[in-house]
Amino acid sequence: MSKQIEWTVKGFIIGAFIDYALQLFFRLIFGILRTSIWFIVFPLIAYLYIYHEVSYWWNNLAERDAIYDSFQKDRVSLINPHAVITADGIRFIEFDVANGANARIYRVSATCTYEPEELRYEEYKLARIYTEHAYAEHIAPGETKRVRLPLVPDGYLWQAKSDELVNLRCDPRLEYERDDLFQGNMKKWRLSSQMEAHISHEIVPVSRYGESVYLNLTGTLKNNSAETINLVTVLCETTNMFGFTDTFTKYFDNLELKSGEVFPVKGRVTKLTGKPTAVLCRLERMEKVQP
């Protein structure tokens, strides 16, 4: 049974229940429903209303949901993985992140498997390793970037004498920009996809002494929608030298950004105790002026 037929049947059943409830209500209050015509009229009214709502969902919201589900995660791959050995064993891994998907990706990390020498006589020979943090920056569709990330400490890796790991394979974990999925007329379903955002960051020393720095925003935001925007939220993620990630939010409120206008995205986000190893600032959300 197709979804449309299923919802049509459901609409008729729900309409019948509504009809029965309405008849009880009028009989109790007015005592006027005596003819069988109401057994037809009320279900028909309820059915037409519910069918209209279901049709709207089917033709519109289902289309929007299909776009959300269209991200091609299987087209993002980590190729040419290679372990990096140090005096303390293998502590890093390098790989090429190849983005063949239909949206920008960011916060890319990896789960890898290999066959340690210590398990060569075991029935289950695979060991699993993870990157300690993610590569924060955007990787555009069609772009490939060589990335080096630290690994979560692992006993087998500490004892490794060579950087050649047997049957090393890596799979990505990532986030992606949902705005990129909405193209052409489909942008109507996501307001933020109608914004032309060019957002970057600056790292500015607090003083000549010490390691503290300011994280500042810079860039522009153009409103290509027909709406007037009154709130813009920018999210910044920083990764420190120990691999820990912190998230900071910058709000630009009380705006009146009309259609076609450009807003300069500037301001201080936060003060950091040290220079981060990676930073990504991106447009998170926005709100339009309510009528």
CA–CA separation, 190 and 176 (whole Å): 15
Mean per-residue pLDDT over the chain, rounded? 84
pLDDT tens-digit readout, 198-223: 999 999 999 888 889 999 999 999 99
What is the mean pLDDT of the segment spanning 251-273? 93
Residue type, 151: L
Q: Which fold has domain 73-178?
A: Immunoglobulin-like (2.60.40)
Asked if pLDDT for residue 24 goes beyond 80, the answer is no
> Residue 233: what are its φ and ψ, rounded to 5°?
-120, 125
Residue 291, pLDDT > 80, answer: no
| DSSP per position, 143-179 | -EEEEEEEBPP-HHHHT-S-S--EEEEEEEEEEE-GG
- Backbone phi, psi, residue 223, to 5°: -90, 105
Nearest C-alpha neighbor of 108 from the set 153, 175, 171: 175
Residue 1 reports pLDDT greater than 50 = no
Is 197's pLDDT higher than 60?
A: yes
Q: Report the distance separating Cα 205 and Cα 215, nearest Å.
A: 9
The pLDDT value recorded for residue 38 is 54
Mean pLDDT of all residues in 260-276: 93
Phi-psi category of residue 109: left, alpha or beta, with phi > 0 → left and psi -120 to 50 → alpha? beta
Look at the pTM and tell me if it is higher than 0.85. no
Considering only 104-108, 110-114, 183-187, 243-247, which range has the smallest mean pLDDT? 243-247
In percent, how much of the chain has pLDDT > 70? 79
| Amino acid identity for residue 62 in this structure | A
More confident residue, 6 or 278: 278
Residue of 268 and 88 predicted with greater confidence: 268
- Report the pLDDT value the prediction gives residue 33, as an integer from 0 to 100: 47
Which pair of structure tokens corresponds to residue 145?
Answer: 């970037």
Position 66 scores a pLDDT of 84
Task: Give yes or no for residue 132 having a pLDDT over 80.
Answer: yes
Q: Give the span between the Cα atoms of 167 and 176, in whole angstroms.
A: 28
What per-residue confidence (pLDDT) applies to 87?
A: 82
Here the tokens at position 87 are 């005096």
Ranges for all domains in the chain classified under CATH 2.60.40.1620: 73-178
Strand partners, 201: 217
Mean pLDDT of 280-289: 89
Q: Which pLDDT value is given to residue 44? A: 62
In CATH, the number for domain 182-288 is 2.60.40
**3-class DSSP assignment, residue 93:** strand
Q: Where are the alpha helices (DSSP H) in the chain?
A: 3-29, 38-56, 62-68, 155-158
CA distance linking residue 284 with residue 102, whole number of Å: 19
- Is residue 261 within 8 A of residue 200, CB to CB? The reply is no
Which of 4 and 165 is assigned the larger pLDDT? Answer: 165
pLDDT band for position 89 (50/70/90)? confident
Q: What pLDDT band is residue 154 in, cutting at 50, 70 and 90? A: confident
